């Protein structure tokens, strides 16, 4: 009996399969640039393994939605972009026809206090939750700093529950600028425009490391818990615990989530995934009603 997880990375999609005991039995990576056109083939390849359940690549997350329930509205919420747009995540989700389920992002988790969610979307995408689930099988409490080549993120896990998070477009990373100064955002929106390219470029790696260290060390001291550093860029970080993991943690973590939800050995950790709402449910800014009105038309 196999359980599959998919990590939609910036550079590669990593697919792993574990058995009912959580042992990795299959693993492969496909360049993200190929996924747009190759999604039907990739999905067929995965389904040929006859998995009991697939934890789908879930972008900004939705709380455990079955694959057959995913339509235009759900693709918009998972990608926060036009559901008809061509993209790797859009293509994979539209191609998938099997027993699959979405993974929630941090902001949808019931274990995160609501006051921490207000006017935020990216507290950590679904793949960051998957990474945290992977390390939850090793530690009860920890700060997880995921250092990717493009983005940094920080998740705080206390007694097996995620209680806070800072996503890759919220804090700066090597490529991402993180949260944009309000005055900069105003000037861009008035005289130019803000696009996905705006929030995915212009990073400051030196400043990103400083902010990541300030946040992770503060939570480590507050809860007396270790800092774990993961991701392809972890060797650039000179603090924290770094385990020698030969697979992408988010991919294996996603397969362990499928194992938990499918009744495997990690079902004992399924409470970590209790979730509700959507990634945009907690924005209270003036004018946001135009966004929610748009979603109702999908």
Which CATH number goes with the domain that contains 55? 3.30.420
| Residues 109-134: tens digit of each pLDDT | 999 999 999 999 999 999 999 999 99
Asked which of 242, 265, 283 is the last residue of a domain, the reply is: 242
User: Last residue of some domain: 203, 227, 242?
Assistant: 242
Q: How far is CA 289 from CA 27, 239, 276, in A?
A: 43, 42, 20
- In a shared domain, residues 172 and 216: yes
For 15, phi then psi, to 5°, come to: -120, 125
Same domain? For 158 and 238 the reply is yes
Q: Are residues 98 and 12 in the same domain?
A: yes
Of 226, 242, 258, which one is at a domain's C-terminal end?
Answer: 242
According to DSSP, the β-strands at 3-8 and 12-18 are: antiparallel
Q: What is the dihedral of CA 174, 118, 57, 273, to 10 degrees?
A: 120
pLDDT tens by residue, 216-258: 999 999 999 999 999 989 999 999 999 999 999 999 999 999 9
Same domain, yes or no, for 204 and 255? no
Does residue 291 carry a pLDDT above 90?
no
**Mean of the pLDDT values across residues 72-91?**
94
What's the Cα-to-Cα distance from 149 to each of 12, 57, 174, 215, rounded to whole Å? Answer: 12, 19, 6, 19
Pair (184, 148) in one structural domain:
yes
| Burial grade of 119 (CB within 10 A; 0-12, 13-18, 19 or more) | exposed
Same domain, 75 and 172: no
Q: How far apart are CA 173 and CA 241, in angstroms?
A: 19
In a domain, 116, yes or no: no
The pLDDT mean for the chain works out to 95
- 255 with 207, same domain? no
Element (H, E) at 100: strand 100-101
Say if pTM beats, i.e. exceeds, 0.85: yes
Domain interval for residue 165: 139-242
Whether residues 17 and 90 fall in one domain:
yes
Closest C-alpha to 162, from 269, 243, 78 = 269
Query: For the chain, how many structural domains are there in total?
Result: 2
- CATH (domain of 211): 3.30.420.40
Residues 51 and 152 placed together within one structural domain of the fold: no
Higher-pLDDT residue of 153 and 10 is 153
| Confidence (pLDDT) at 294 | 76
């Amino acid at each position: 009996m196999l359980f599959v997880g998919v990590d939609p990375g910036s550079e590669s999609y990593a697919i792993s399969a574990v058995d009912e005991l959580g042992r990795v039995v299959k693993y492969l990576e496909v360049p993200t640039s190929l996924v747009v056109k190759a999604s039907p083939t990739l999905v067929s390849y995965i389904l040929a393994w006859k998995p009991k359940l697939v934890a789908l690549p879930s972008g900004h997350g939705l709380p455990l939605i079955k694959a057959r329930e995913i339509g235009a509205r759900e693709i918009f919420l998972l990608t926060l972009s036009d559901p008809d747009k061509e993209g790797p995540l859009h293509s994979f989700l539209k191609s998938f026809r099997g027993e699959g389920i979405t993974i929630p992002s941090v902001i949808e988790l019931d274990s995160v206090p609501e006051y921490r969610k207000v006017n935020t979307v990216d507290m950590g995408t679904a793949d960051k939750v998957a990474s945290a689930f992977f390390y939850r099988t090793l530690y009860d409490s920890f700060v997880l700093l995921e250092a990717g080549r493009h983005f940094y993120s920080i998740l705080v896990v206390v007694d097996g529950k995620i209680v806070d998070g800072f996503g890759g477009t919220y804090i700066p990373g090597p490529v991402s600028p993180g949260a944009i100064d309000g005055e900069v955002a105003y000037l861009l929106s008035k005289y130019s425009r803000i696009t996905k390219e705006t929030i995915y470029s212009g990073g400051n790696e030196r400043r990103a490391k400083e902010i990541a260290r300030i946040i992770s060390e503060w939570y480590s001291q507050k809860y007396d818990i270790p800092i774990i550093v993961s991701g392809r860029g972890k060797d650039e970080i000179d603090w924290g615990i770094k385990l020698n993991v030969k697979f992408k943690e988010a991919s294996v973590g996603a397969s362990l989530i499928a194992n938990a939800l499918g009744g495997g050995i990690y079902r004992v950790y399924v409470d970590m995934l209790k979730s509700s709402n959507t990634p945009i449910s907690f924005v209270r800014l003036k004018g946001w009603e135009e966004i929610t009105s748009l979603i109702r038309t999908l």
